A and B are shown apart, each in its own frame.
Chain A
Amino acid sequence: MNYFNNRLQEVNNYFLNGDVHLGYRRLLDAAIETNNFDVYEATLQFCDWYDADEKNKTSATLHQKVQDLLAVITNGHKENTAVDSTAKIEANGISKKYAHGKFSLAKTNVELHTGQIIGLVGENGNGKTTLLRLLNGELQSDSGTITYRYKNSSTTNKYNVKSGLAFIPQRPQSWYGGLMENLQYASCFTGYKGHQNFLWTEMIVARMGLRQFRTYNWSRISSGYKMRFELARTLIQKPEVLLLDEPLANLDMLAQQIILEDLRFLAQSHTAPLSIILSSQQLYEVEKVSDSVIFLRNGVAQIEGGVAAEKAVGLTIELETTANRIVLQKAFSSLPLQKLSFNGGVYILYFDNGATFNQVLAAIAQEGLPVKYIRDISSSSRRFF
């Protein structure tokens, strides 16, 4: 069974297991990957039926409809050639010092490969946006080089190079006029005319969960949906590299998760994988979807490369509990606890190399400590905060 069939099977399983919303999104992903407008037509008919009544989402006919659509998708799919794995963006030793102000971004290396997601984390004013703007070519780097390797990037026409690189700022500019017409307008420049334009735009709108808002105006939608519409407009243009500055800033928890999942799926696309760099302060969430994380502190990259490879020496645990320091020290007395720090909300426990997370859990259970939250942050950039 090839990759695509596996994916369809996965979609089928989501529906069978009752994960309808996830299955629906993955079904649309699969349909989009076919690049087949007959499939898009059938998918949008399914979407119309799916959205027509809330009961349809739990009805007995749903599974049959999904099966039918999966068959259409299977027939409409053509196996794609292997995806290029070279670095889409390669930045070596780029730095930036502003003429006014004390901040400067130290020499940083970034290598973004096809289908990869790089998380850019750090507190406010530590250079995340500066790094993104440098990669987007908005700012002139004081040193180093940036090489772009994607379609059209080899041309001397810098405008074409920028067309393949999408940058979504933290606060997207307002859209004027209808949302759908803005999206269709963008779609035209991707090369989709007439009915194809409509189908392609509708597919992306459906995929981003924006069908019910497509007739709205910019002022009528919330900040979270504004970000999703901006993302939809970007995806419609089929960029190869996506740079997102704080896309999670105005989103609630659920929306954050959905956006991050979507980004993960987009990056994993078999036919048109996206390479993504996103900056955020939502450390855990970003780490969950990122292949690597760059942590910026005072303009200096603390981690570069894979998170797992940069694992800290020993075990670092984040713990939220009502127990005090003395109780904790007593509870972990049997383990090689090196240091225990408290930032007013949570404790950070540093153990020697010999300790394991399970041993920590056992010690907590044995002492009956009241735990509100616990996480192993040995491999996380959280430990730098």
Chain B
Amino acid sequence: MLNKINNYLLTHNPLLWNSRIVWVLLCNVVLHLLFFLAGLASISAKTISSFYGVWSVGGGSLITFSVLCSLLVIIVWLVFYLRNNAFKNFYRIGKWYLAKEFFLIFIVVLTSISYFESFNYGVKSKVRSFTGTDVFVKEVNTINQAMVYLPGEKSSYFFLNSCAEKEKREDGTQEITYVDSSGLSNYNYPNYAAIRNALRRPDALSYRNYCKKFFSPWSYEGLWDNKKISAENTQLLNTKNEAALRGILQSFFTLTSKYNIDSRLNIDTIINLVFSNGYHSGIKLIPEQEFRDEYGKSIQNPFYLTRYDLSRTLDFINDCLPNPENLEDQKSTWMIIGYVALSFSILLLCYRRFSRKVFLISVVGTIVWAIVVGLFAATSGESLTIPVLLLCLCFLFLVAPFVSMKENAAKTFSGVSLNWHVYLVPFVVMLLVWLISDYYSSQQIVHTNYDTADELKKLRFPISYWVTENTTNIFLVNLFLMIAYVALAFNKWAKRWVVMAEE
């Protein structure tokens, strides 16, 4: 069967046969599937809390394994792919043959260096399977509501941090953290008098004053804001609805159990504390750890809640859901993978199109002039020396071979220059963005200040503003443009170069 397919490709589509794309893609599909399944298998609701993020699930060993798999697949592929080269043998190739060959190289490299992403997709898919967006929103609301009654810090319950008081302040979102008397010893603190006065109130520290979210993920639809949480809390306290509070806490415990969040809490004690007096000021902080250290002795806390694990778990789930922020991150990740694939594909293409001598000189030469440019930039002390110099070199490496190709002289020099040009050209846009961003920053300092409103920046520096705001999209578009540039323009020049006579 395999022989039949291979023979069919050989006699019908020599490019597909030579590139071994069918086999390498088949192999990559299997490997991506295995990595995806590994991702699925390596996470569960109960183990989320033990990871720092999606990227840490596989750990360093999986990244290493993924790199090794990539290397293995690429090396084996190269052993077969490099066996034949229609271009260097001057076979009668079609008009689009070289462009198609480059696309195939790029696809092979791209699919061979992104196994780890499949693993991440596996992890994310598994998380989405037990906590979808709707479920997550409900869970975050429950947790945010429950956390009102599980104090971790006093400042959140301080009178001046209530929703009503915050609204009165200019910096409405800023919380006053100098609540303890020790913190108030600083007479220079701007709100010193107000804080002292507030602290004299019987409801200075009360469940009623709570106006924050324990966890603020991407603003999903249905997610409660501070006011909503505060309003729900106020109603519960006003109506002395112990049953509702019990329900909230029970739901919270179900979630801590679901995500294996380490805690020891007692619902009745919590309810008693909330309703201990009319001001609801029975705030008692719940420690983070099960044990505390006292005079060198480890003493067990009666109650505790590992908020950090809870927060990390919610962060993890939030990173796995398909919200615009994550999609943007994913776009960036694929853009980086795309650039790595493009760079490797260009290197391989140069090996396929040019003589070994030219290839080796250009690779070694690249290292040499990278050092020279670096040293030059370091001694000049100007931050823009590198982008300006590299842009000039990129232009020079394009013009020089054209002149020598027209004169039909200096074949090796032309080849090496073309190689250097194509090594640099994908990064031209990045260098331009670097220059524009630098200009933007310097102009902002001169004409405005960092707090200047976005609209004003937009009006004063429309191009710079647009570039800075759309950097990722620009890089992404550049990636596709560069693929087309190399496939169409560079291959055409390589074709002109290969027929050049040596001096």
What range describes how many residues of B lie at the interface? 20 to 34
B83 at the interface (CB under 8 A from A): yes
Q: Mark A21-64, 1 if CB is under 8 A from B, else 0.
A: 00000000000000000000000000000000000000000000
Could you tell me the distance between the alpha carbons of A194 and B10 in the complex, rounded to whole angstroms?
Answer: 8
Pairwise interchain contact A193-B84, C-beta atoms closer than 8 A: no
List A contacts of B11 (CB < 8 A).
184, 188, 193-195, 197-198
Q: Is the CB of B93 within 8 A of A189?
A: yes
| B297 interfacial by beta-carbon distance below 8 Å | no
Query: How does the 8 Å CB contact mask read for B477-503 relative to A, with 1 for contact and 0 for none?
Result: 000000000000000000110110111
Complex Cα–Cα for A194 and B501 (A): 36
Residue with the highest number of chain B CB atoms closer than 10 Å, among A176, A188, A191, A193: A188
Contacting residue for A159 out of B10, B12, B499, CB 8 A: B499
- The answer to whether B201 has its CB under 8 Å from any CB of chain A is no
B17 contacts A by Cβ under 8 Å: yes
Residue of A nearest to B499 (CB): A158
In the complex, A139 Cα to B409 Cα: how many Å? 10
Task: In the complex, identify which listed stretch (A102-110, A160-168, A242-250, A276-284) lies at the interface while the others stay far away.
Answer: A160-168
B15 nearest CB neighbor, chain A only: A188
CB neighbors of A among B282-332 (8 A): none
B18: Cβ under 8 A from any A Cβ: yes
Shortest CB-to-CB span from A229 to chain B, Å, is: 14
Total interface residues on A, using CB and 8 Å? Answer: 30
For B86, the closest partner residue in chain A by CB is A189
Is B14 in contact with chain A by the CB < 8 A criterion?
yes
Assess whether A188 is in contact with B10, with CB atoms less than 8 Å apart.
Answer: yes
- Measured CB to CB, the closest approach of chain B to A152, in angstroms, equals 8
Find residues 182-206 in chain A having any chain B CB closer than 8 Å to their own CB.
182, 184-186, 188-191, 193-195, 197-198
Chain B interface secondary structure, helix, strand, loop or mixed? loop
Are B91's CB and A177's CB within 8 A? no
Chain A residue, CB-CB nearest to B80: A177
Query: Contacts A184-B10, A188-B14 hold; do A138 and B86 have CB atoms under 8 A apart?
Result: no
Are B502 and A190 within 8 A (Cβ)? no
In the bound complex, what is the Cα–Cα distance between A237 and B84 (angstroms)? 15
Q: Is A99 an interface residue (CB 8 A)?
A: yes
Contact B14 A185 (CB under 8 A): yes
Asked if B90 and A159 sit within 8 Å, CB to CB, the answer is yes
User: Is the beta-carbon distance between A160 and B84 smaller than 8 angstroms?
Assistant: no
B408 within 8 A of A: yes
Give chain A residues whose Cβ lies under 8 Å from the Cβ of B495.
159
Note all chain B residues with C-beta closer than 8 A to A195: 11
- CB-nearest residue of chain B relative to A186? B91
Question: Is B174 an interface residue when CB atoms closer than 8 A count as contact?
Answer: no
Contacts of A138 in B (CB 8 A): 501-502
Query: For A181, A195, A198, which residue has the most chain B Cβ atoms within 10 angstroms?
Result: A181
Bound Cα distance from A198 to B89, whole angstroms: 20
Give CA–CA (A195, B7) in the complex, Å. Answer: 10
Please name all residues of chain B whose beta carbon is closer than 8 Å to the beta carbon of A184 when the two chains form the complex: 10-11
Segment 119-158 of A: residues with Cβ below 8 Å from B: 137-141, 158
Bitwise interface map of B from 74 to 111 toward A, beta carbon under 8 Å scored 1, else 0: 00000010111010011111000000000000000000
**How many Å lie between the Cα of A163 and that of B91 in the bound state?**
6
Contact of B92 among A139, A185, A237 (CB under 8 A): A237
Which of A99, A160, A165, A181 is close to B503, meaning CB atoms less than 8 Å apart? A99
Task: Name A140's closest neighbour in chain B (CB-CB).
Answer: B501
Contact of A139 with B502 in the complex, beta carbons under 8 Å: yes
Given the complex, which residues of B lie within 8 Å of A186, measured CB to CB?
A: 89, 91
Distance in Å: Cβ of B18 to nearest Cβ of chain A: 7
- A159-B495, A186-B89 given; name 18 further pairs at CB < 8 Å: A99-B503, A137-B499, A140-B502, A158-B499, A159-B498, A161-B499, A162-B499, A165-B90, A181-B10, A184-B10, A185-B84, A186-B91, A188-B10, A188-B11, A189-B86, A193-B11, A197-B10, A198-B11
**24 contacts across the A-B interface (CB closer than 8 A):** A137-B499, A138-B501, A139-B501, A140-B501, A140-B503, A159-B499, A163-B90, A165-B90, A177-B80, A177-B83, A185-B10, A185-B14, A185-B84, A185-B86, A186-B91, A189-B14, A189-B86, A189-B91, A189-B93, A190-B92, A191-B92, A194-B12, A237-B91, A237-B92
Please give the residue numbers on chain B whose beta carbons come within 8 Å of chain A beta carbons, in ascending order: 10-14, 17-18, 80, 82-84, 86, 89-93, 408-409, 495-496, 498-499, 501-503
Q: A residues within 8 Å of B by Cβ?
A: 99, 137-141, 158-163, 165, 176-177, 181-182, 184-186, 188-191, 193-195, 197-198, 237
Closest 7 CB pairs of A and B: A189-B91, A176-B83, A140-B501, A158-B499, A188-B14, A197-B11, A177-B83
